[in-house]
Structure 1
């Protein structure tokens, strides 16, 4: 009976043995792949660190060679290398052997004075336990030597993967520099892989020691293998079918959700887990609430838009009624001074109406008031209401495609109105040049300038500014929060205004 049972269980034993051997072989291949990734990663990290320092040093030596280096360059370079490379030492010399910049520590031995400008660009110094790199200026008059100690090289080349009992060695021809040693060296096999650095004549070699084979380890590999595999397979099947797959499908449904839709995730997900079903119902209820709230917000927004249109329409009509009443009173006046006063008031009401009309036109796109359209319409209105002796007054406009808020548009319109009216009084047969140019130094600024022969400095100009226009212009400049610059010789006013970027 014992013999029969042994022969019956023999196939299971052979299967377990073959599986264990395959697992050991796979582990070895995985270890080799991990070692290859680790040494490649370490070589790349070390190359990137050296290239970063080389770039900083190249810029510095070029600046020193050309005489463009400032007094703080050495300090910045020392701070950069100290921050990036703990333990790195650098020394910069010219062809005469003068030290231009250096670390406070003494320079390690290994590079003779006459060999400072020689090749190669990188050199191993096994006796001094350093890796030294050379960076020469473009004209070859300045050189920078950087010394990297073992501690720094090990820190940079340390791979992200957890490889135990490893050794890192840098090689350059017959030169070898061991930068890290294994924590414990035991007899047994070892695996080594190499990767080249930049410069390519330096090779980084990583060696790992294989742990010794013990009886306990061999037993642990053979005995529980079949039971572990069966339990893992059954567990994975149950969890994947009943938990992971339903959750993945639920996540895909939720990820594809668009605001305004109503989720029905449980129509696609089939699972006996009541918790997942409850989670799907919760997502559906949340989507219903979001859809309801978005519909209400859209309806409220449309109502608010209609109310805003109505308010703007009524304000525009009221301004037109006021302008018409002023025009009627002006027609009934017989005194020339009263007629001019009515016309002046009407011009300011028209200016406010123009601002409001342009603001209402741009309200739907929420871009603000267009400066070019505002000044063009305002200029046409001012010429239409100009006094009879100033009907030939010309207005030239040069404006970039800019937009301003209503808070800026109102004082701008009044400022243009005041200065155009003042120029019409002083030089009715002249012209006015209005320019609005974007400030290249600031995206949210533009310069409004107005120039006319009538605005040139004169006694009559000073009297009008003192009696009437000066206080108004000062108040408008305060509203725009910028000084109003005046050039009396050129007859030019200029002020900075805020635009919508």
Structure 2
């Protein structure tokens, strides 16, 4: 019913709207045509005036260049230009040496340097001195004549015969703009502008006209269709509100208050004779029942999956512990120092993998990844516990930001630290090591891992160990981390960029 009542008056509203828009469009087209005629007329008048003055300037410049000028020629030129320019017709004629051959009584405006007097530009805007200069050179190029036109004179010439309210005239040459309107003020409000090219063609005359203010009659004719449509909507509202809108609002509130797992009963609060709304409420009830059933099934499946994950975790952890115990038993039965050290080296790497696994599962509940600080701390404690007898007092210092990394990064990081710690223990058993992990200041997903120890300084023994064993392992781990492993031999520092979780 609301739609029918609204559509009943819609044709009348459309007719009035089209008529109003057509009238406004006709007025705009008339104003645009008037503006085009005015700017064309102004451009022609200004071009003709400049061309006339240029002819007089050219005759005088040629006469002075050929030494054929009589003593009264400058006065006649001044009288001719003054008859056109109410401000006095300022002109100045120079030769190549910069000597002024002829001039008007007024001072020359600033803006044209002595070195630029013989430029090839026919005319040039001088916004700083609010004037336009016209330049004419003699045929032999030895004499140049400059005529300056003030803003008031330019406006008096370019003032169109057509009466236009709130207009503004401006000249533009490249990035230079000269406002030539009487007030010199910028026209405010919505403007319509048209341009015409002068001779010289690099100067544009632009005329801007402000739109007339909106009157009551203009606004009324424009908004009358909306008023008619609103009246139809108001009438329809009284009829439709009780039957359709209010029941739909109540139904929306009931649905908005829905909580997962609950079953909606919207028709207990909504009373309406509309069968469509009653069917919609029943549909919401059936959907909520299906959602509650599916959520219960998903919760049960999630709990089962969590239990299976915990069981897998415990089995992996137990397997790693069994492997570590077997390695320890074999190490105790070994008699040679090299065999014992080999078993200890293998056990350290198994312990490193175990540390990564434990930290990964601990952080898995919060879905943040592996914590870098607890990983390195636990790994350092494990490495010191399995250190050779001569390296029992090997110290490890840790400085790390609160960062988290994925398991695919944590495993190579743990092995990399294990290799470097073992290498430092072999080279300097009584030394210390500093492990630092600092977040990159420019990228939130990058951090710099730095391992520094006196045993990692460049030496013959270190070069030998890297060539025999550690070098290939360190290179492989840096490839897994997809970043170059930098070594500062003088400081004994290894550093590599790793990816962190922002």
Q: Would you call these one fold, judging by a TM-score over 0.5?
A: yes
Structure 2 gap segments, 5+ residues each? 1-108, 114-121, 133-154, 161-166, 171-175, 194-207, 222-227
Question: Are 1:179 and 2:210 matched, yes or no?
Answer: yes
RMSD: 3.9
Q: Which of the residues 113, 126, 149 maps onto 2:129?
A: 113
Instruction: Give the match for residue 432 of structure 1.
Output: 433
Describe the superposition over 1:266-306 as per-residue Cα deviations: whole angstroms up to 9, x where unpaired: 11111111111101101111111112212221221111111
Bigger relative contact order, structure 1 or 2 (CA pairs below 8 A, ≥6 apart): 2
Instruction: Give the match for residue 298 of structure 1.
Output: 299
Pairs within 5 Å for 1:45-444? 97=111, 113-114=129-130, 129-130=167-168, 153-154=190-191, 179-180=210-211, 205-209=213-217, 236-444=237-445
Find the residue that maps to 2:259 and give its secondary structure. coil
Describe the superposition over 1:387-438 as per-residue Cα deviations: whole angstroms up to 9, x where unpaired: 1111111111111111111111110000000000001101111111111111
Give the C-alpha shift of residue 240 in structure 1.
Answer: 2.1
In structure 2, relative to structure 1, the CA distance for the partners of 1:324 and 1:98 (3 Å cut) is farther
Give the C-alpha shift of residue 211 in structure 1.
Answer: 11
Q: How far apart, in 1, do the equivalents of 2:296 and 2:177 lie?
A: 68
Instruction: Give the match for residue 38 of structure 1.
Output: none
1:153–1:179 CA contact under 8 A, matched in 2: yes
Give the C-alpha shift of residue 320 in structure 1.
Answer: 0.7
Give the length in aligned residue pairs.
329
In structure 2, relative to structure 1, the CA distance for the partners of 1:376 and 1:211 (3 Å cut) is closer
Give the C-alpha shift of residue 111 in structure 1.
Answer: 7.4
In structure 2, relative to structure 1, the CA distance for the partners of 1:432 and 1:232 (3 Å cut) is closer
Q: How far apart, in 1, do the equivalents of 2:444 and 2:219 lie?
A: 66
Q: How far apart, in 1, do the equivalents of 2:304 and 2:260 lie?
A: 21
Describe the superposition over 1:417-476 as per-residue Cα deviations: whole angstroms up to 9, x where unpaired: 000000110111111111111110110000001111111111111111111001100110
In structure 2, relative to structure 1, the CA distance for the partners of 1:380 and 1:246 (3 Å cut) is same
Q: How far apart, in 2, do the equivalents of 1:485 and 1:396 lie?
A: 20
Find the residue that maps to 1:209 and give its secondary structure. helix
Structure 1 gap segments, 5+ residues each? 1-94, 100-105, 117-124, 133-142, 157-176, 182-204, 214-224
In structure 2, relative to structure 1, the CA distance for the partners of 1:149 and 1:330 (3 Å cut) is same
Question: Are 1:489 and 2:470 matched, yes or no?
Answer: no
1:131–1:148 CA contact under 8 A, matched in 2: no
Pairs within 5 Å for 1:21-60? none
Q: How far apart, in 2, do the equivalents of 1:250 and 1:131 lie?
A: 63
Give the C-alpha shift of residue 248 in structure 1.
Answer: 1.8
Give the C-alpha shift of residue 115 in structure 1.
Answer: 9.4
Q: How far apart, in 1, do the equivalents of 2:192 and 2:307 lie?
A: 67
Find the residue that maps to 1:451 and give its secondary structure. strand
Q: How far apart, in 1, do the equivalents of 2:303 and 2:335 lie?
A: 50
Find the residue that maps to 2:215 and give its secondary structure. strand
Give the C-alpha shift of residue 233 in structure 1.
Answer: 8.5
Give the C-alpha shift of residue 367 in structure 1.
Answer: 1.2
Q: How far apart, in 1, do the equivalents of 2:220 and 2:323 lie?
A: 102
Instruction: Give the match for residue 61 of structure 1.
Output: none
Q: How far apart, in 2, do the equivalents of 1:493 and 1:211 lie?
A: 77
Q: How far apart, in 1, do the equivalents of 2:438 and 2:417 lie?
A: 15
Instruction: Give the match for residue 456 of structure 1.
Output: 457
Regions of 4+ moved over 3 Å: 95-99, 106-112, 125-128, 143-152, 208-213, 231-238
Q: How far apart, in 2, do the equivalents of 1:435 and 1:211 lie?
A: 72
Q: How far apart, in 2, do the equivalents of 1:237 and 1:208 lie?
A: 30
Q: How far apart, in 2, do the equivalents of 1:281 and 1:96 lie?
A: 86
Q: How far apart, in 2, do the equivalents of 1:350 and 1:269 lie?
A: 66
